[in-house]
Structure 1
Amino acid sequence: MARQVIQLPIEPGLICLKGLSPNRLRFEVEYGLERGTTANSFLFQEVPLLVHPPGASFAEPFLAELAKLVPAEAPLKVVVGHVNPNRVALLHQLAARWPNQLLVSSNTGAKLLEELWNLQKPVAPGSETTPEPIPALPRIDVVKQEASRNLVDGHVLRLIPTPTPRWPGALMAFEETSGLLMSGKFFAAHLCSESFAEANRSSSEEDRRYFYDCLMAPMARQVESVVERLEALDIRTIAPGHGPAISESWRSLLNDYHRWGATQERARLSVALLFASAYGNTAAIADALAQGVARTGVRVESINCEFTPPEQLLAAIRSCDAILIGSPTLGGHAPTPIVSALGTVLAEGDRSKPVGVFGSFGWSGEALDLLESKLRDGGFHFAFEPIKVKFSPDAASLKAIEETGTALGRQLQSEQRKAQRRTASGGLSESRSNPAVQALGRVVGSLCVLTTSKGEGGNRLSSAMVASWVSQASFSPPGFTVAVAKDRAVEALLHVGDRFALNVLAAGRENGPMKQFLQPFAPGADRFAGLELEHSPSGQPLLPEALAWLEATVQQRMECGDHWLLYAQVSQGGVLDASATTAVHQRRSGANY
């Protein structure tokens, strides 16, 4: 199904224009569940006033639908809750078709609009492509602090600036008479659904948690401040920019945001993620790195160098355990805020802590070369080789970048454990010597290799891991549970609806597969390199030397401390060697595998 825009009346005079994309819209980490997305805009028809227009990806169907509702000569007001190049490209077309237009944005949003309005993507040398003419920037009603606007149809719109490092120009709109909070990126989920509101809390819970982990967790402190402000509003429905609205359980969702953020704040280790992004590609790399680091329980503090006060930047550099700095290349140079941040790192950064450089570029990458050379010459050691992506990262490169972040998080935790052992009084750790932990180790499980593959063609992703925490969980339907550590690379491919195979290993023949899948893999490495595989009916990798195999689909996920417990329903399977017995894992302690 192609992208389309539908009209959903909310109440008299208020319409939701819902853009539907059943397929993954972009190759950015927050779209990784591949459940499509929606772009939700809201039209107060009598004014007329449009809240949160979509990006250019929905331009054609959106403009066609809007033209049915708003005459071209109408004085259209547009509340711009999120400013980026993709959104500005749509605003160009709005300004061309509705020239009598007024934009409404936050103070920072107005500055971004002025910076981005006449900015065009670089054209390849020798290209015959002619850029489209850009209309004049409309007048802007700047919302410097929270304010209310009385609309002609009796509605009262409260405009609430909600800046964060990822979205410094964010602006929420709260309609006071209906209690409708148009929350933009907050509380969003990339999930394609024609319904205005979710059927129940559980129907989109995982999708909203995934969106939070991808984009909100690295700025948990700022997000917490915004959520605390929203709790004072007389909300009845939250309508985010992506995914279904929340009407029955919005208080529960606010509580979830508090709880998820508290987990981030408890982390003892932290990584400062410094970046600037012109077209969103460097920000997408930053998101993937942050996602990978956060998997290990290390907190990420996201710092947008263009909009962060110097004292906040300095505090993050001094207090963190690693520094990652990312930049685009604009006109052969790094943006001025990145150059300034680099100077602060060189002056104040601890040389004993690792650094990393990342970014995207079009036809050259001088900014990344500058960052790398200055940091190396300054005596810093690198956690990984600089990540340099031409234009936009694809699904495979995002997965490798995510794994790079996970490797950094594990490295920091390993160094922390070594330091703790050096300062400890000696002997066995308390957890290993605890009788209850020793008894827990006597719970045995079958040795298996979990394998999975997802996607098509060049965007196909695969991964695997040794699994020993496996147990049958149901007879009808047949199902089992498997525990997966949060920092496993394969975990990102094991969400509700994803398929995988469980290869049950045979006693006496488990060493070969164990050696293959227990070895350390470089970020993005093929776990199946050199193996001769068979495949299940849905294309999941099978190991011919296994005793038996099961093909299953994830039905539920339960967060259990440092692991996810997955319940999967079996669809197919087979015994490959009826004479063999199952390999089991005997442990002396429940403190490790």
Structure 2
Amino acid sequence: MSAPNLHWPDTIFSYDRKTEVIYTCDAFGMHFCDERTFDEDLEAIEADFRFYYDCLMGPNARSLLTAMKRMNDLGKIKIIANGHGPLLHHHLDILTECYQSWSQRQAKAETTVGLFYVSEYGFGEKLIQAIGEGIQKTGVGIEMIDLSTAEAQEIQELAGRAAGIVIGMPPSTNTAAIAGISSLLAVVNNKQLVGLFECYGGDDEPIDTLRRKFIDSGIKEAFPAIRIKEAPNASTYQLCAEAGTDLGQVLMRDRNLKQLKSLDVNMEKALGRISSGLYIVTTKKGNVNGAMLASWVSQASLQPLGLTIAVAKDRAIDTLMQVGDLFVLNVLEEGNYQELKKHFLKRLTPGADRFAGVKTQTAKNGSPILTDALAYMECEVQSSIECSDHWILYCTVQEGRVSKPEGLTAVRHRKVGNYY
């Protein structure tokens, strides 16, 4: 039984009718271990069961509700054999009811994007997964449906309530998938966003025909249509992730504004008095590069020389700043930073060259150095700490140079502390 997003896009449940055991991979698990195989002591596992749900299952509550509905159609279940923690048997009814009630509450408040694709065609599944990962960075939920196997009612239910829709173009010979798109078109509305991409197949349905139908219905594009003419590579998947992040950021904008307005005015003004420098992080991994303007940077250690950087979870560069990754921290110069700041603050279309028109050199670690920066440091990410909407990265410094010994670091003073 397909159970996507719990918590991997390709998760499946397996049910053995003879033993009445269902194998659920990550779902219904917990990070708990003692000598008992089963859930004999409910009190001992309750806290871990809920914590595991909040971290891994809650972000995809609607997908979980769909999977549980399918579970009910399988027949009697004696044991849930999960992949983590004790197997569920003694308190099966109580623990599954917890999942049901938690997910129903979570689903009511969640902003969701529907991802529609054909799994056994071209690179559609991998591409849609990359887009989904980009969306989830922003705090928006995703649900995936295979157009070639889903019922029309299932497609319309998701398409009707989703805030955004992403479609991987199916082959023209797949009549079931094309019929699914027709069902989808019948329920979409002009408050939604849409994104389209090719699956890299020789007989894809044309993007422009479908795109025009959405535009004529008053539906806005979340990102320019992704047209793939050759086998996808790392750059292609990075482009897809950036497109997903752009979509998620647009959907979260209104909710984030409401949260900003709810903060105490005096508190946000006080927090804004924390000054910071201005830096640009540049990095390259394989044939994929990235950059971002950073201000939350601070030296963190002397032996070895180390610093910390706060990176928002919804930044596209996040995938290039994992433990072990290399980058350059470029220090901007007071009185000589406006052009660089303006350039790296620009919102570019997914896949655009972030360094076009900027003078650069190549560092020993392969990342770009900004020629006009006051100084630079070559760094390696050593560890990361999750901090609400940011990652705090601890990084060591291997190389560094100052281009103008008399220059001063550009400093940023904010009026309020609840946005950059």
State the TM-score, normalized to the length of structure 2: 0.75
* Structure 2: runs of 5 or more not aligned: 1-7, 27-35, 38-54, 72-76, 87-98
The structural deviation recorded for 1:375 is 3.4
The structural deviation recorded for 1:524 is 0.9
Q: Matches of residues 393-408 of structure 1 in structure 2 within 5 Å? A: 393-408=232-247
Q: Which residue of 2 aligns with 1:476?
A: 303
Which residue identity is paired with 1:571?
A: Q
**Is this contact kept in 1: 2:331–2:376, CA < 8 A?**
yes
Q: Matches of residues 332-481 of structure 1 in structure 2 within 5 Å? A: 332-333=172-173, 335-366=174-205, 368-390=207-229, 392-415=231-254, 429-431=261-263, 433-455=264-286, 460-481=287-308
Cα deviation 1:221-276 (Å, max 9, x = unaligned) = 2698599x9995497899xxxxxxxxxxxxxxxxxx99xx9998586422111222
* Aligned with residue 323 of structure 2, among 476, 496, 503: 496
**Distance in 1 between residues matched to 2:299 and 2:324, nearest whole Å:** 19
The structural deviation recorded for 1:161 is 5.8
Secondary structure of the corresponding residue to residue 476 of structure 1: coil
Distance 1:232 1:416, change over 3 A: closer
Cα deviation 1:316-375 (Å, max 9, x = unaligned) = 12221112222331xx43x23322322222222113322222232433333545533443
**Distance in 2 between residues matched to 1:303 and 1:348, nearest whole Å:** 16
* Aligned with residue 170 of structure 2, among 328, 335, 345: 328
1:298 aligns with 2:140: yes
The structural deviation recorded for 1:497 is 0.3
Secondary structure of the corresponding residue to residue 502 of structure 1: strand
Cα deviation 1:138-176 (Å, max 9, x = unaligned) = xxxxx8x42468xxxxxxxx9746599xxxxxxxxxxxx
Q: Matches of residues 170-249 of structure 1 in structure 2 within 5 Å? A: 221=64, 232-233=80-81
**Distance in 2 between residues matched to 1:219 and 1:572, nearest whole Å:** 48
**Distance in 2 between residues matched to 1:284 and 1:443, nearest whole Å:** 43
Which residue identity is paired with 2:273?
A: R
The structural deviation recorded for 1:512 is 2.2
Which residue identity is paired with 1:382?
A: E
**Is this contact kept in 1: 2:122–2:199, CA < 8 A?**
no
**Distance in 1 between residues matched to 2:176 and 2:216, nearest whole Å:** 20
Secondary structure of the corresponding residue to residue 377 of structure 2: strand
Higher RCO structure, 1 or 2 (CA under 8 Å, sep 6+): 2
Which residue identity is paired with 2:277?
A: S
State the TM-score, normalized to the length of structure 1: 0.54
**Distance in 2 between residues matched to 1:315 and 1:278, nearest whole Å:** 23
Distance 1:297 1:364, change over 3 A: same
Residues paired across the two proteins, number:
365
Percent identical across equivalent pairs? Answer: 33
Cα deviation 1:176-213 (Å, max 9, x = unaligned) = xx98xxxxxxxxxxxxxxxxxxxxxxxxxxxxx9xx89
**Is this contact kept in 2: 1:328–1:367, CA < 8 A?**
no
**Distance in 1 between residues matched to 2:78 and 2:125, nearest whole Å:** 26
Q: Which residue of 1 aligns with 2:156?
A: 314
**Distance in 2 between residues matched to 1:449 and 1:575, nearest whole Å:** 15
Distance 1:234 1:511, change over 3 A: closer
Q: Matches of residues 265-304 of structure 1 in structure 2 within 5 Å? A: 268-279=110-121, 281-304=123-146
**Is this contact kept in 1: 2:170–2:177, CA < 8 A?**
no
Q: Which residue of 2 aligns with 1:568?
A: 395
**Is this contact kept in 1: 2:11–2:25, CA < 8 A?**
no
**What's the C-alpha RMSD, in Å, of the aligned pairs?**
3.8
The structural deviation recorded for 1:494 is 0.2
Which residue identity is paired with 2:141?
A: R
Which residue identity is paired with 1:436?
A: M
